[in-house]
Amino acid sequence: LFAGEEVVRTTASIFTISYGIKLFFCGIIAAGAMVIPGISGSLLLMIMGEYYNILGYIKSFNILPLGFFAVGTGIGLILVSKGINILLNKYRSYTLNFIVGIIIVSLVQIVETLFIK
């Protein structure tokens, strides 16, 4: 956790528009992942290297980067939910099978993590 806090301190002091655009797209991806069951939005943020930065922005109430992330999150929620709605209307069985597949793979991964060392 201390390494994450150091990342927050170094990144929080330098904010550019290009970094804001990155936060915007991270918000879209994280929100989209949170809508689909079995995919963790916070894990994707960790993979993209922004999880601890966003926690730091929340902790220090840094509005500008949180604004970029929030707008991206809102747009991501709308786009993914509309996309899933379209897919469910056109390809209902394929979409449901895909979602069930993601859930099953997530459960297998959890069981594997718990019982296989």
Number of helices (H), then strands (E), belonging to the chain: the values are 6, 0
Position 115 scores a pLDDT of 83
H or E, element range at 5: helix 2-12
Query: Domain total for the chain?
Result: 1
Q: How far apart are CA 23 and CA 20, in angstroms?
A: 5
Spatial CA neighbour of 22 closest among 74, 68, 63: 68
**pLDDT digit string, tens, across residues 86-97:** 999 999 999 999
Q: Is the pLDDT of residue 37 over 80?
A: no
Position 43 scores a pLDDT of 86
pLDDT bucket at 22, cuts 50 / 70 / 90: very high
Burial, 79: exposed, middle or buried (Cβ in 10 Å; 0-12, 13-18, 19+)?
A: middle
pTM of this structure: 0.72
Q: What is the mean pLDDT of residues 100-107?
A: 87
Q: What is the mean pLDDT of residues 9-30?
A: 80
The residue range of the domain holding 78 is 2-115
